[in-house]
Structure 1
Amino acid sequence: MSSVRPLDSRPALPPTTPPRQCQGCRQGEGSGIPISMAFQPILHLPGGGAPGVFAYEALVRGPEGEGAGSVLAQVNAKNRYAFDQACRVKAIELASSLGLPGTGALLSINFLPNAVYEPRACIRATLAAAARSQFPTGALMFEVTENERVEDPAHLLHILNSYRQMGFRTAIDDFGAGYSGLGLLAEFQPDVVKLDMGLVRDADTRPARATMLRHTAAMCRELGIAVVAEGVETLAELRVLQQAGVELFQGYLLARPGFEHLPKAALPPG
């Protein structure tokens, strides 16, 4: 896992000059969507080495554990900024209260690129939440999903580059299933690429998928990018991925998301 920068507690760099305040900040309105979080571990399974938790992904839920679909259905252009900010704050505060910083794992937070007006301005609530919760900003990773249509690709690249300059790790989620794919990867190399579960599913019985996974993993290694396989549900899928050189795994085989708690991840026998 040498392609992933080591954990540290260096704070993200604050803006050197106050950026122009965006409309969302000026309005200061909440999203009006009650939320909580579930956490799902990403397990590191090195060949011949001891397993460990690389990160916990924060997954939005309703206040009683309702699924992400019912929550995201309430997001629109008017409340998108406030919702994105609320998710970041809730993930950091809850993860800190659960003792995540003491595990040495990263906290991975999904963000909505279309909700970020100016990265250094829109990061203020994140930094404030981390300071209040004594959460090390060096342990934060931001995931952008390919499944959200990006209205301005150049702006997305600006966000990702700004986050890197501020000391955060970055990840492309659902790689291979959305709008960006290789085009985004050619312009920006994140710390982590998360392979879409559609590629992972039945890879042990679908030779074409196994071939795509093997070559994608090899490409990422050459670019210095760590690869996470999402949605792993069977030992057979995991073995094919390990043969392809993947060492980071997330899925029901290892642990289901834990609502408001950090579930333990374990490789089942077999």
Structure 2
Amino acid sequence: MAKCLRDEEGGCRRCDGGLDFDFTMAFQPIVDVAAGAPFAYEALVRGVNGEGAGAILSQVQPCSLYRFDQACRIRALEIADRLGCPCPVSINFLPNAVYEPSACIEATLAVARELGWPESRIMFEVMETEEVRDRAHLQNIVESYNAMGFWTAIDDFGAGYANLELLADLQPDVVKIDRHLVCAIHESPRRQIILETLVTLAARLNIRLVAEGVETGEEAAWLLSAGITLQQGYWFAYPAIETLPIVDEARIEAARRRSA
């Protein structure tokens, strides 16, 4: 994230007011391959001219982190509602932007109520680039969100800050497996052992698994045969700006046939 430009009084010349950049959301389905339908749509921040998430995040100042996090939640819900999203919307959140869960969720709840969007159709994912400085704080956020009726998820599990240690303290509803563990899973015995073990662990902890970055039919079929029915990646649909991409049903069926 960009460095703040502070003036002589200690304020930030760029972010004491509103955000000085605009953004929108792209959506990508999380597919329930067994059911043959989207389980949820993840909202992914994008620039209004198609810029990637990195280009937007690089403009966020530390002192505008909270405003940006709030704006993302609201923008995701508003666009998903306008598009007629038929299932939950998954929103990345920044743990370090949440100073107190019940207070920081008020704006999101207000918009959800205005739209008639129930809490059970919102899933919050711990953003993968965010280092959690206070594990107890994150635990409080997850527990509070679960108590409010939201779904919670750990993103990019197995990479960066999202590792097994988190599961010792947190009880998320969903764990999203990082692409690195999914890549060419059908021809990697070591990755297969890891994911098979994770399937058993998740079942015992009452956690649902999502395989991220599924890019081939062989990957999708192996994952399905291992019991990982929720999958996300280019094999099924690319993210689309302010659009709910149509899931490729033929590819879902191909994965089912290969896994049988």
TM norm structure 2? 0.87
Structure 1 pair 162–246 and aligned structure 2 pair: CA distance change class (3 A):
same
Structure 1 pair 29–151 and aligned structure 2 pair: CA distance change class (3 A):
farther
The correspondence of residues 102-251 of structure 1 with structure 2, limited to 5 A, is 103=86, 105-251=87-233
CA contact (8 A) 1:39 1:261 kept: yes
Structure 2 residue aligned with 1:67: 52
Structure 1 residue aligned with 2:25: 37
* RMSD of equivalent CA atoms: 1.5
CA contact (8 A) 1:176 1:196 kept: yes
CA contact (8 A) 1:56 1:106 kept: yes
Q: Counting helix residues as a fraction of each chain, which structure ranks higher? A: 2
What is the deviation of 1:202? Answer: 1.3
1:57 and 2:42 correspond: yes
Gaps of 5+ in 2: 1-14, 255-260
Tell me, in whole angstroms, the C-alpha distance in 2 between the residues paired with 1:115 and 1:33: 18
SS in 1 for 2:81: helix
SS in 1 for 2:63: coil
Structure 2 residue aligned with 1:265: 247
What is the deviation of 1:125? Answer: 1.0
Q: Deviations over 1:132-175 (max 9, x none)?
A: 22222221010003431111111111111110111111001000
What is the deviation of 1:59? Answer: 0.3
1:76 and 2:58 correspond: no
What is the deviation of 1:187? Answer: 1.3
CA contact (8 A) 2:186 2:222 kept: yes
Structure 2 residue aligned with 1:7: none
Residue 179 of structure 1 aligns with an amino acid whose one-letter code is Y
Number of aligned pairs? 238
Tell me, in whole angstroms, the C-alpha distance in 1 between the residues paired with 2:194 and 2:224: 14
What is the deviation of 1:28? Answer: 8.1
Q: 2:84 aligns with which of 99, 105, 110?
A: 99
* Overall identity of the aligned pairs, in %: 52
Tell me, in whole angstroms, the C-alpha distance in 2 between the residues paired with 1:163 and 1:148: 18
